[in-house]
Structure 1
Amino acid sequence: MRTHRSRRAAGLLGLVLAAAVALPATASAAEPWSGDFADFPADSWSQQWGVVGDGQFGFDRMSGQDGAVDVFYGQGSSAPSCEDCPSEGGGQFYSDFTAVGRGDLAEARSLQLTYQVRFPADWDFGKGGKLPGLYGGKPGEAGGGNHGQAWSTRFMWRNDDGSGARSADGEVYVYDPSMGDGYGEDVGRGAWQWQADDQWHTVQQTVDRDSGRIVVRLDGQQVLDEQGIQQISDIPFAGIFFSTFFGGHATEWGPSHDVHAQFRDFQVSTP
């Protein structure tokens, strides 16, 4: 009797395994999108990224170098809205996933943005500034104090103690529809520090539209996990918000001398 049951179980197991093999494989994660700056700012580069016409500035301060982009920030520079800055600095553009045929990324419930950044040894963090992140909704409605049915998760460095006091505190600078008006919210300030060591560092943010969870990894190590963004479940991912400048909106945010930073190896994928 024991032998009969054992054979029957083995037969059932064989049927189950056979059925599993016959079933189609479950859908795999979407293929990652990747972008470089080899042809910046040619039309071929713009098409690769799906660059949006609105919200651009500073392309004359950005130059492609071996697939990376070098960005210049002038002494005392800040946001383009600065009225007392002695110079200009930084650059910005929005990408559009649907424009490059990646509606699957736009409709994803969670996405990871990964890229590398390098601050040279002579970098001056000043008081603070912006770094690229993700966004959803219409360009321009989640940045610069402007609010709409949109959101953004740019990185920032901050140093309220002024130039040279310490390596800058890292954070995610969040805009979302729950904020009403005013400027963005600092999420996870001081969870890590950016380093001016002339080395490439890999930074990654994962944004979950359903839970509002933001996870940050720096050089492969998790440094932040926080429910940091609200009311974005119904607002699809739009693309990358490449935004980098000192500020704030006044020269006090800017560096004490001209500086450069480099960015490369951008990739967007589903977790």
Structure 2
Amino acid sequence: MFSRVRSAQLIYALSLLIPAFVEADGTTPVASVATQFSLTTSTSIPFPTATLGVNDTDDFLKSSWSLSRGRISNGNDSVEFVSDPFPSAQVAVDSGSSFNGTVLRVTYPKGSFNNNTGGAQFYTLWNSSTAFQSMLVSYELAFDSDFDWVKGGKLPGIRGGPSTSGCSDGKEPDGTDCFSARLMWRKDGEGEVYAYVPTSNGICDDENVNCNDDFGVSIDRGAFSFPSAQWTRVTLLVQMNDPSSSNGYAALYFNDILAISQKGIQFRTDDSVNPGGLFFSTFFGGGDDSWASTADTHTYFRNIKMFGSSTGSTMSGSVMTRQSEWTWVLLLAVVVFFCGLEFI
């Protein structure tokens, strides 16, 4: 048996494995994630103080959201600012919340299955004097109470690179043009990170990654699940790799709890590809009507924030081990170390 001294030493050593940014309830607030990864620049996406119809919403987004090409790419008739439909189904309050009562509603008409027939897609640029190498986007979203998940659909994330038209809709990257990292819901509301990134570095061999020759890369499908009729908070972090290495990193926090931690990503092969801003992209699909929405339905978005840094990933490109696996390795090493001391 361990002596009291050895036990105290063990408890202290194990406590060192718990990140200082994690709260007592196991959550990591958005601002703490930003601090942990040295994301010192931040901005909040403005929302109107009153509801707006479709046309006024279009005007507001054009004037206030720094849209690429000055317009909504697809779905300008599918977005409008409305009152909160779920005022009694709130996520835990974010101390940095900018929510003022209005939310952005996106409509998916019955039978829609890509961004040309339903949902919306546009690119909100975050201009900076220094190119970002890391970026975080956080937002809160909710689904209609009778939302039918069907086979899945896209949700907003981050994109970057000189090309503003690639890295979606089956347009795969070559490492010098663009990247994108969005979220997806799948059947029964299962969540994942969905990325358009080069795959020549062997990321498809990772057991947590599903690759498709014609579309994006699914990372950790089913790591979390979206509810209906309930606000949730998602926080997506991407850190650029060195162009010559596959040391990029992506993380997803669901309701402030780390759900996905993926190392070994090659977002780019050229340093002209950097995070550029919010990729607001949401629709059912999928490229055929087997993904189509079964009824007119909606999602709702609010409290959108971004954080950035001119520092990219400092991880090793050869390390593909997941963070959770390293935690168990360290835990085992500590236990073995103190057991060894006890029996000397």
Q: Same fold (TM over 0.5)?
A: yes
1:182 is aligned, of 187, 204, 214, to: 214
Aligned to 2:307: 269
Give the drift of 1:249. 1.5
Work out whether 1:150 is the aligned partner of 2:178. Answer: yes
Aligned to 1:36: 46
Work out whether 1:59 is the aligned partner of 2:76. Answer: yes
Work out whether 1:135 is the aligned partner of 2:164. Answer: no
Give the drift of 1:29. 4.8
The 1:258–1:45 alpha-carbon spacing in structure 2 relative to 1, beyond 3 Å, is closer
Work out whether 1:218 is the aligned partner of 2:257. Answer: no
Asked whether the 8 Å contact 1:143–1:152 carries over to 2, the reply is yes
Asked whether the 8 Å contact 1:113–1:269 carries over to 2, the reply is yes
- 217-226 or 71-80, larger mean C-alpha shift: 71-80
Aligned to 1:8: none
2:224 is aligned, of 185, 192, 206, to: 192
CA distance in 1, matches of 2:107, 2:172: 28
Give the drift of 1:181. 6.5
Measured against aligned partners, the alpha-carbon deviations of 1:90-148 in whole angstroms (never above 9, x if no partner) come to 011011112xxx344xx232221100000121111111100000001121111111134
**5+ unaligned residues in a row in structure 2: which ranges?**
1-37, 83-100, 201-211, 242-246, 310-344
The 1:56–1:133 alpha-carbon spacing in structure 2 relative to 1, beyond 3 Å, is same
Work out whether 1:121 is the aligned partner of 2:139. Answer: no
Work out whether 1:240 is the aligned partner of 2:278. Answer: yes
**5+ unaligned residues in a row in structure 1: which ranges?**
1-27, 82-87, 160-166
Asked whether the 8 Å contact 1:213–1:225 carries over to 2, the reply is yes
Q: Which has the higher contact order (CA 8 A, sep 6+)?
A: 1
DSSP-derived class of the 2:285 partner: coil
Asked whether the 8 Å contact 1:146–1:181 carries over to 2, the reply is no
DSSP-derived class of the 1:143 partner: coil
Output the amino acid matched with 1:259.
T
DSSP-derived class of the 2:290 partner: helix
CA distance in 1, matches of 2:282, 2:198: 22
Give the drift of 1:192. 0.6
CA distance in 2, matches of 1:158, 1:103: 38
Output the amino acid matched with 1:145.
G
Measured against aligned partners, the alpha-carbon deviations of 1:2-46 in whole angstroms (never above 9, x if no partner) come to xxxxxxxxxxxxxxxxxxxxxxxxxx8533111134276354532
Aligned to 2:193: 172
Aligned to 2:340: none
Give the drift of 1:228. 6.1
Output the amino acid matched with 1:142.
C
Measured against aligned partners, the alpha-carbon deviations of 1:206-230 in whole angstroms (never above 9, x if no partner) come to 1111331111101111111012631
CA distance in 1, matches of 2:183, 2:214: 18
Output the amino acid matched with 1:238.
G
TM-score normalized with structure 2 length: 0.61
Asked whether the 8 Å contact 1:145–1:182 carries over to 2, the reply is yes
DSSP-derived class of the 1:142 partner: coil
TM-score normalized with structure 1 length: 0.76
**Aligned length, in residue pairs:** 225
CA distance in 1, matches of 2:106, 2:280: 12
Aligned to 2:239: 208
Give the drift of 1:75. 1.6
Work out whether 1:69 is the aligned partner of 2:93. Answer: no
1:89 is aligned, of 118, 122, 126, to: 118
1:46 is aligned, of 62, 68, 76, to: 62
Q: Output the aligned Cα RMSD.
A: 2.3
- 215-224 or 46-55, larger mean C-alpha shift: 46-55
The 1:73–1:250 alpha-carbon spacing in structure 2 relative to 1, beyond 3 Å, is same
Aligned to 2:324: none
Output the amino acid matched with 2:155.
L
Output the amino acid matched with 1:203.
V
Aligned to 1:227: 263
DSSP-derived class of the 2:251 partner: strand
